[in-house]
Amino acid sequence: MSEQNKIDEIKSEHQIAEELFRRKPQMKDVFNPTHDWIGYLLAEIERKDEALRFFLDDDNYMPTYESPTGTMFSAVEKEGRKRAREAL
């Protein structure tokens, strides 16, 4: 099984647990710490994946922004470091 498939499986299981907790709130007391950590980790994975998608998009390397001095630069040059820091 690929890593992405495993992550998708974990997301699906997490959503099933969310639905169970909505129906039977007392179940969340038993599984809450683990469930919350899984939700946190899934959100972190999604945030990092979003940053990777930004860097993988060829359009983000095209010079589309102009500085006050007239120099053209790309979205990666403009936002790349910020996005990388946010992903870490």
Q: What is the pLDDT of residue 29?
A: 78
Residues 28, 7: Cα–Cα separation, whole Å? 22
What is the amino acid identity at position 8?
D
Residue 83 has pLDDT above 90, yes or no: no
Residue 33 has pLDDT above 90, yes or no: no
Opening angle at CA 59, ends 55 and 65, nearest 5: 100
Residue 14 CA, chain-centre distance (Å), reads 16
Q: Left (φ > 0), alpha (ψ -120 to 50) or beta: where does 61 sit?
A: alpha
Q: Which residue has the tokens 């994946």?
A: 49
Tens of pLDDT along 55-71?
Answer: 999 999 999 989 899 99
Q: What is the pLDDT of residue 46?
A: 93
Q: Are 16 and 52 in contact (CB under 8 A)?
A: no
Q: What is the pLDDT of residue 31?
A: 76
